[in-house]
Amino acid sequence: PPAFKKDGVLTAGNSSQISDGASATVLMSERRALDVGVEPLGTVGDFCSQAVKPEEVMFAPIPCVRKLMKRTGLAIDDFGMVEHNEAFSSASVGVRRELGIRWELFNICGGAVALGHPIGCSGNRIVVTLLHSMKERDVSRGLATLCIGGGDAMAMVLERS
């Protein structure tokens, strides 16, 4: 049955469950990483944030990614992998379709519906999953996106050499 509205489409089956999670990332310059003997998983190429009306939060990554692509000169086909915060599968389908992301590049390890939604560390979970997936599959550029409660979104270009 619908979870939020009597005639709605969101159900327990197509919505992410709130999950426990913890996450940590060490962010440093490449020079510092090399000085301490750590091989970087990747680098942040660029990032942006964007706000929309709160009722449009699930689709907030769309203008955010477009803004990032315009600023960087990148096209969606320049990314070998995309990790998106999948709070609700129907919204993720819309984001993927609107941005023209191919299925085989989108949330290849499963999104939050499959993995859980660890509120508070979802963004880092997405970045770490993307970086490890890029390493495993020898992908040089990935895109991380997420919507944030209240109408905000973030997008980040991650690169590996």
Q: Is 9 left (phi over 0), alpha (psi -120 to 50) or beta?
A: alpha
Residue 160 tokens read as: 């590996």
Cβ atoms of 19 and 118 within 8 Å: the answer is yes
In the chain, the domains with their CATH numbers are: 12-159 (3.40.47.10)
The answer to whether 104 and 77 have CB atoms below 8 angstroms apart is no
- Express as a percent the part of the chain with pLDDT over 70: 93
Q: Residue 109: CB partners within 8 Å, gap ≥ 6?
A: 115, 129, 133
Q: What is the pLDDT of residues 61-107, one digit of tens each?
A: 999 999 999 999 999 999 999 999 887 788 889 999 999 999 999 99
User: In this structure, are residues 144 and 83 in contact, taking their beta carbons and an 8 Å threshold?
Assistant: yes
Q: What is the pTM of this model?
A: 0.88
